[in-house]
Structure 1
Amino acid sequence: MIAFVYAGQGSQRVGMGKDFYEEFPGFARVFDHAPVEFDLKTLCFEGPEEKLSQTRYTQPCMAAFAVGVTSLLAQEGIRPQAAAGLSLGEYSALHAAGVFSQGTAISTVAFRGKVMEEAAAGLECGMTAVLGLDREKLQTACDGASELGVVQICNYNCPGQLVIGGERAAVDRAGELAKELGAKRCMPLKVSGPFHTRLMKPAGDALAAYFRTLDFGPMEFPVYFNCKGGPIEAGETIPALLERQVQSSVYWEDTIRRMEADGIDTVVEIGPGKALSGFFKKTAPAIKTYHIDTAADFHSVVSALKGETA
């Protein structure tokens, strides 16, 4: 069983998609007709990096890349049996599953990036990657630092790699406590907001209102949701899970383990970099991983997957 997984913010790079654009007219149409209020193609291909790294621009650029590659895979007859995406990548996973059209996926993620940036405005915030500490001890560190402000575990990426976020003083103190509890390293991350913490509630509220204007199509296959580490269940709705996602932890390690338990044996990572593939290798090394960052990657992955099913 094959799953597509979609990269999140932080893996963007200047030049992303340029080789696809030049080779594939279908991919070019996605970029040329992206429903955004800026020149997406020029920003992706030429930068500047500082602007591409701003949340309101990063997110629709990443989504356009993802839906473009997904359409090319579909043209080759390669479709997944499940999907997931890290943070903003979850919207591309939902597009792959038929919930959002290409345009809706991109415009919705553009709105999401805008309201996340607005929610972070004026906050003295930070995020720190914590290596070599289990989640229970890191929660203890967060609890010990909470008197200084909001600090939460915002990403459970893989065993031994967690991320905390919130108000800077509390995050810094939690990092110090984490080291005292045995963490190998604490690395501050270059981010523009306390993403996936309760400080993002204004963004969640804005998304909830926005979702009422959208049509959500039926899912053609399971999507594993960040905020629960598994597929949707009876009584849950996609809008409610997405509203919750922006302001709660990303359970990526749990997602990987659930995928493995459900019989997923192959994943294709779509997006710049190989971060998600690395998380799979550390969490469930028996799952075969491929990644598509460049047009050359695309050709090799298509050949490999078609060879496996021939």
Structure 2
Amino acid sequence: MTEHNKRIAVVFPGQGSQTVGMMNELAEHFEVIKATFDEASLALGFDLWEITHDETRLHQTKFTQPALLAASVAIWRIVKDKLDKQGISPLYLAGHSLGEYSALVASGVVSLSDAVKLVHERGKLMTNAVAGMDTQMAAVLGLDDEQVVSLCDDAKDQAGSVNAANFNSPGQVVIAGTQVGVSHVLSAVENLGKKAVPLKVSVPSHCELMNPASQKLAELLADTSFHQAQIPVIQNRHAEVHRAVSDIKTALTEQLSMPVQWSKTMQKMAEQHIDLIIECGPGNVLSNLAKRQQTPITALPTDKLARLEKLEKLHES
């Protein structure tokens, strides 16, 4: 930290933030956008930039994940340059679900080339794990975490597999599982007079249905070169910073079938007196969530030129 007073963290969004043509505006102004996509495409052996303009493929998990990763890392490279010029370094990084891989690239733990190959395979493993199943995810609003967990436990006893998948903010918990299990929970939520919103996703992440994918992901991670983090990354599994490479990989393995502890991640940042969160990636989902935490934190999305320009004079704010 230099003479500025800002305590900054950077966060990276997960699946669901993708939109067709999501990087077009920034690509017109920053060469690093296309350069980053070219780097990722070379590693994968197919044109990732083209996929960001193809609605059908962009929403297939095996393509969504590397496309979002490349987009987030590209924006990070712009943001980092702007922060470096002001003598500012983030104190922490974190990423929501898939976004954790973007955070690990930004921290120097894994190369972009290796990361996009990992998440491309991760997407295929997730799809294969539930092939032929009717599955669903939904956001439950207005209940506390323990209530949602209890409803999922009741549903598993009576209907089908369902788990709390993302603890996003107080009063917002995403559930995932079989369609029968999720529907049972949604009926219970409605009976309590609360609201639940089904999500448009192709794969139910962070639930026990992902156990087979998690086991195979561990093998891929074992064969991938990881390094010490240059900036601490708060990982989803326990909302903790892991220093040892082996622990980072274990947390990534378990993350796939266990819930994202985003509320705890945000609370940890609040406890570390973070007063500005910069979101690197398409959209502003995480910026909105930052406002809804037990201790709200000011957040700045950076996916548009006008938003990025707000980073120019952080040291004066």
1:41 aligned residue (39, 46, 49): 49
1:249-295 deviation per Cα after TM superposition (whole angstroms, max 9, x unaligned): 01111110111001211100111221111111011554221001123
1:188-227 equivalent positions in 2, closer than 5 A: 188-227=198-237
The structure 2 residue matched to 1:257, chosen from 240, 261, 267, is 267
Task: Give the distance between the partners of 1:141 and 1:83, measured in 2 at CA.
Answer: 32
Q: Corresponding residue for 1:159? A: 170
Task: Please name the residue that 1:16 is paired with.
Answer: 22
Q: Residue 296 of structure 1: CA displacement?
A: 3.2
Q: Which residue of 2 aligns with 1:138?
A: 148
Instruction: State how far apart, in whole Å, the 2-side matches of 1:63 and 1:103 are.
Output: 11
Q: Distance in 2 between matches of 1:37 and 1:126?
A: 31
Supply the distance in 2 between the matched residues of 1:295 and 1:102 (Cα, whole angstroms). 24
Asked whether the equivalents of residues 228 and 244 of structure 2 are also in contact (C-alpha less than 8 Å), the reply is no
Contact 1:260 1:284 in 2 (8 A): no
Instruction: Give the alignment partner of residue 53 of structure 1, picking from 51, 59, 63.
Output: 59
1:237 and 2:247 aligned: yes
Tell me the equivalent position of 2:91: 81
> How many matched pairs?
304
Task: Give the secondary-structure state (helix, strand or coil) at the position aligned to 2:206.
Answer: coil
Q: CA deviation at 1:306?
A: 4.5
Question: Secondary structure at the residue paired with 2:241?
Answer: coil
CA separation of 1:167 and 1:136: change in aligned 2, threshold 3 A: same
Indicate the residue corresponding to 1:113 in structure 2. 123
CA–CA distance in structure 1, aligned partners of residues 185 and 265 of structure 2: 25
Which of 68, 75, 80 is matched with 1:69 structurally? 75
Q: In structure 2, what is the Cα distance between the partners aligned to 1:234 and 1:206?
A: 21
- Contact persistence 2:97–2:236 (CA under 8 A): yes
User: Secondary structure in 1 aligned to 2:113?
Assistant: helix
What TM-score, normalized by structure 2, do the two folds share? 0.91
* Aligned sequence identity (%): 38
Is the 1:73–1:79 contact (alpha carbons within 8 Å) kept by the matching residues of 2? no
Query: Is the Cα–Cα contact under 8 Å of residues 137 and 178 in structure 1 kept in the other structure?
Result: no
2:182 is paired with a residue whose SS is helix
Which runs of no fewer than 5 residues in structure 1 stay unpaired? none
State the partner residue of 1:301: 310
Aligned to 2:4: none
Provide the C-alpha distance between the structure 1 equivalents of 2:245 and 2:76, rounded to a whole number of angstroms. Answer: 29
Please give the alpha-carbon distance, in whole angstroms, between the structure 2 residues aligned to 1:11 and 1:232.
26
Residue type of the alignment partner of 2:31: P
Correspondence 1:170 to 2:181: yes
Provide the C-alpha distance between the structure 2 equivalents of 1:237 and 1:151, rounded to a whole number of angstroms.
27
Deviations 1:74-94 (A, max 9, x none): 223154110111110000111
* 1:32-75 deviations in Å (ceiling 9; x for gaps): 2212233211121x22x232111111110000011111112222
Aligned Cα RMSD in Å?
1.8
Aligned to 2:282: 272
Residue equivalent to 1:5: 11
Q: Is the 8 A contact 1:130 1:161 kept in 2?
A: yes
